[in-house]
Amino acid sequence: MAAAPRRTAANEGFGSAFDQARVLGARVLGSVWSPALLYLVVRGFGTLIFVGMAPDRVDWRPWDADWYLKIAEHGYVASGIGMLDASGKPMPDGAYAFFPLYPTVVRLFAPIFGDNYIVAGIVVSTLAGVVGAYGMARLTRLLGGNRRAETIAVVLVAAAPMSVVYTLPYPESLLIALVVWALIALLERQWWLFALLTAVAGTSNPMAGPLIVVAIVAACVAVNEQGQRRWWAGVTPLLAAAGMLGYLFWVAAHTARGYFHITDVGWGNRIDGGLVTAEWILDAVTTSRDLFVVVTAIAIVVSVVAVALVRRQMPWQVWLYTLGTVALIVVHSGLVQDRVRLLLSAFPLLILAAIRLTRCSTRVAVVITGLASLFGLWFSAYALIVWPHSI
């Protein structure tokens, strides 16, 4: 009869350390800090990839980031002097194409960092991303996910393709944080909070538009319901739209052309029913050999198909927001290169993917989440370096 293997002190120590590390990891992932830690770790890793892939000195204020930081530092009028549009032409009114919330917050934070607006912008984006991470976990739970799904959702969102903008002076993390908490407030029927968050989101980015549409539809549904407070729902659309409409009227009062004319002339942004997007996709699948072009086309097609298939798998309010977001991205013309970045606003699709992954074994879920995250982080750095117009 063979002798049992001897347990040495080293083996016992190693096993004990492993068990302690596993218990500690479970406690961390199950703690109140887990969304923040997960988000910061993923974004930190993504930043290292971005810095490592940069051929020269890293540009921390590329493209739109430069506009936002100039607006934060000098205001709208002064920022337009000497600024160029996407085609390189002078655009004195171009600064008005960028919504005011993000540069305003950066301006408030800048004195803390010695008026270093780049650092202030990165800090604002990162803090907003952390707030958004908690929202992702909360919304995942409201959509039927468990703690494991919350973890996967936070990771997938933090590592999504073009998530590099979450660590740059861009407003996406601020917009998404406001949107996700607004959706949570709506699902929990906190009408005033939903209206307030939607109004604030409307001053951050035009991609908040679908959330205003949700407010209108939700109000129409709510006013037909019984209850003493149904009139609160009727006021919601007016409050929700106040932020965006207020900014658009302000631009019209300070320029000769208005917001939509500025974005049309400067960036070619107009509603064309998806013709430009369709041409881009057709070119990608027939002639293009560029990875960025192909991935952009695939991302658009997958998003359209996915939003059509998941109608019954999420509350109609969340689905309608996602549908509106994808539709807005598809039907407008202008630069197609930034569509993957814009698709970050369709984050409910990633939350649903996270919930689906919990049906797999732990090993399969970890592998798929890891591979998807690595690709998203790598693609973010690759796109920004090879295709600067991607953001």
Q: Which residues lie closer than 8 Å to 329 by C-beta, 6 or more apart? A: 277, 300, 303, 339, 342, 343, 346
Question: What pLDDT, on a 0 to 100 scale, did the predictor assign at position 45?
Answer: 95
Contact 151, 38 (CB under 8 A): yes
pLDDT at 98 over 50: yes
Give the model confidence (pLDDT) of 116-167 as tens digits: 999 999 999 999 999 999 999 999 999 999 999 999 999 999 999 999 999 9
Give the model confidence (pLDDT) of 266-315 as tens digits: 787 888 888 888 888 888 888 877 888 888 899 999 999 999 999 989 99
Question: What pLDDT, on a 0 to 100 scale, did the predictor assign at position 2?
Answer: 47
Q: What average pLDDT does this structure show over 43-60?
A: 87
Q: What average pLDDT does this structure show over 105-111?
A: 96
pTM attached to this predicted model: 0.89
Question: What pLDDT, on a 0 to 100 scale, did the predictor assign at position 120?
Answer: 96
Q: What average pLDDT does this structure show over 209-232?
A: 80
